[in-house]
A and B are shown apart, each in its own frame.
Chain A
Amino acid sequence: MHDESSRQIRDDTEAECRRFLYAESRLLDRRQLRDWLAMLSPEIDYRIPVRQTVMRNHGEGFSDKSFFMEEDFGSLSLRVKRLESDYALSENPPTRTRRIVGNVELTSMRGDNEASVYSSLIVCCFRGDKPNPAFLTAERQDELCRIDDGWKLKRRLVLLDTTVLGMESLSIFL
């Protein structure tokens, strides 16, 4: 009985987290960046480490010192504020993005209100008249927390598959 109810909680939580990530990617694809900020915990820790090609005995090549983004709520808010300007040229005209979030798995829970979630992300980025997108693909390790009945993103680690960004700027959020 106990096992079954905890399993039910896990399944429900995983479904809620999945819905959270889908909703988030819809907001980002539609560039509703203010609404996206509202999905973040004020304590958000958001990182996209730099990666290098290394031999297997050196691990996965992710830096613990260098990042494409290493953000808190204040710095993300400033990014959003700037991107809202008509003069943010990298995003005006905007990158047209299509995010596919898949392989969502609840990897662990702490109590009922904190969840660690694994997901895979593919972002297709179309710029200008180029008919072929630049792709960004990554593993995401997220920590979600329940605040006032809703989930918020508290921690995100984006583990890119590429070492060299194949696009002129990283002016979108992953």
Chain B
Amino acid sequence: MSLASKLLENVKSDLEQGLLPIQVFNNRELYDLELRRVFAKSWVYIGHETEIPAPGDYALRYIGEDPFIFVRDSQGVVQVLFNSCRHRGSQVCRSEVGNTTHFVCSYHGWTYKNNGQLDGVPARSLGYRELDFSKWGLISAPHVGNYHGLIFANLDPDAVSLDSYLGQYRWYLDIQFLLSDGGMEVIGQPHRWQVDANWKQGAENFVGDSSHTQAVHRSALEVGITDSTTAGAPGTAFGIHVYECDGSAISIRQLGPDKTAFWEYPEEVTRFFGPGRLSPEQFDLAKRALVHDGTIFPNFSFIHVGLTDSLERKPAGYLSLRVWQPRGPDKTEIWSWILAPKEASDAYKRRAYRAGMSTFSPSGSFEQDDVAIWPGIAQSARTVFAEVTGMKLNYQMGLGDMSNVALINDWPGPGIAVPSNAGESGLRTFHRTWCRHMLGESA
């Protein structure tokens, strides 16, 4: 029996005890299974519709390691098309972004409309008289869904709808995306960078790893980039963890009920916020929010926060979205985008961008220290010693009697809420969801 099969056989009961075999962070066999059982069977984030506002706008994106064209066709419909010519398989789009009415394969000239339909082949009347154009278009992702501008695709023809996949977790997503009538808008282009670590590392970090902040981000705290309300030691003062929310989790830091924070967005921005598209309870969480961060399985995460790039300027609220793009069992390409409310002034969007770039990006004061740690985990995960000793990692923080904090009975949102972030419940939720996919129990 292979290491991977043995591991999958026991991982469910391991997780019940808050344990996780370290090999999940670097094992070729597991990774190859993940590409098929996770990435080909989940709703994977493609991009935000504000990245391709005009008909013909496109950008290249990936599902697992497979290349797709994220394009708004001439009718304005968002398409996710496999970037591979039906004739010989070469890539019909060789530019990362642009605008086009047609994708023309450079090899023999097969030409497709920007909705994927085959529109022309060379020497049709001489060599392709019987070719049925309706059958030889670019292959679309079987399902494409839009949630408040977030475009996801699912390669599984039998997939449940995006709404059911997100389930009750939409309640928390709505808080991030429906604050103002215009919603959130992507500023500019994504950062992309590669780290020698497994894709799940970032996903689990963002889903509610609140106790790493005081250690890994000590330098950012020391120099005053933020204070102990927004970051710092885990505990019951500001932190709430919500877990087992239809397979997802969120970490919340917030002020008391009478306080207003709105992730440090200034009044010039918050005046566009209103409870119009949110329930009063959702709006109240937004009003008190210092930090919201979470992950949608498998590899899409967000952090909504207010931070600064300079001690001479006040913190500014922004929303960071990211994709933990798998590139191998021990390699991840991180994609990150910075968003601000659409109604905000151009000047505020510049301010939000700089606050985001200087904190959560490859040069970010917070992010660069996270990522510095992760390659070491991938290195440990592939060791023979970990294998022969059956090394399992400890995800027990806050599990069962490890914590004496009672759950919040009257929590207004879905999921299980605990009034402390000294725990790893969100990470356990994430890995349980992973486990269900790997064992083929995803529904």
Contact = CB atoms under 8 A, between A and B. Distances in A.
Residue among B193, B311, B373 with the highest chain A CB neighbour number at 10 A: B193
A170 B363 contact: yes
B309 A78 contact: yes
Interface in A46-76: 48, 50, 52-55, 58, 61, 63-72, 74-75
A166 interface: yes
A50 B189 contact: yes
Given A55-B95, A82-B219, A50 B191 contact: yes
17 contacts: A53-B96, A55-B98, A66-B189, A66-B357, A69-B357, A71-B309, A78-B225, A79-B358, A82-B220, A82-B225, A85-B219, A85-B223, A89-B369, A164-B194, A167-B193, A168-B194, A168-B197
Contacts of A85: 218-219, 222-223
Interface string B376-402: 000000000000000000000000000
A68 B358 CA distance: 8
B195 interface: yes
Nearest to B358: A75
A58 B95 contact: yes
Interface in A147-171: 163-171
Interface in A104-156: none
Interface string B71-97: 000000000000000000000001111
A88 interface: yes
B96 A54 contact: yes
B86 to A, nearest CB: 22
Contacts of B311: 74, 78
Q: Among A54, A85, A169, A171, find the residue whose CB has the most chain B CB atoms closer than 10 A.
A: A169
Contacts of A63: 188-189
Given A66-B187, A165-B194, A54 B95 contact: yes
Question: Is chain B's binding surface mostly helix, strand, loop or mixed?
Answer: mixed
A81 interface: yes
Interface in B149-190: 187-190
Interface string B305-335: 0000111110000000000000000000100
A96 B115 CA distance: 49
Contact of A87 (B187, B190, B218, B375): B218
Contacts of B372: 89-90, 168-169, 171
Contacts of A168: 193-197, 362, 368, 371-372, 374-375
A87 B98 contact: no
A52 B220 CA distance: 30
Contacts of B312: 74
A170 B368 contact: yes
Interface residues of B, number: 46
Nearest to A165: B193
B246 interface: no
Contact of B362 (A79, A82, A165): A165
B43 interface: no
A88 B219 contact: yes
B48 interface: no
B367 A169 contact: yes
Contacts of A86: 219
Nearest to A54: B95
Contacts of B141: none
Contacts of B97: 52, 54, 58
Interface string B222-241: 11010000000000000000
A69 to B, nearest CB: 5
B39 interface: no
B429 to A, nearest CB: 27
A66 B352 CA distance: 12
A86 B218 CA distance: 9
B361 interface: yes
A78 B222 CA distance: 11
Nearest to A64: B188
Contacts of A165: 191-194, 362
A170 B371 CA distance: 11
Interface in B187-217: 187-197, 216
A68 B232 CA distance: 26
B219 A89 contact: yes
Interface in B326-370: 333, 338, 353-354, 357-358, 361-363, 365, 367-369
Q: Which 10 pairs, one residue from A and one from B, show the smallest C-beta to C-beta distance?
A: A65-B188, A66-B188, A169-B368, A74-B310, A165-B193, A85-B219, A87-B218, A90-B368, A87-B219, A88-B219
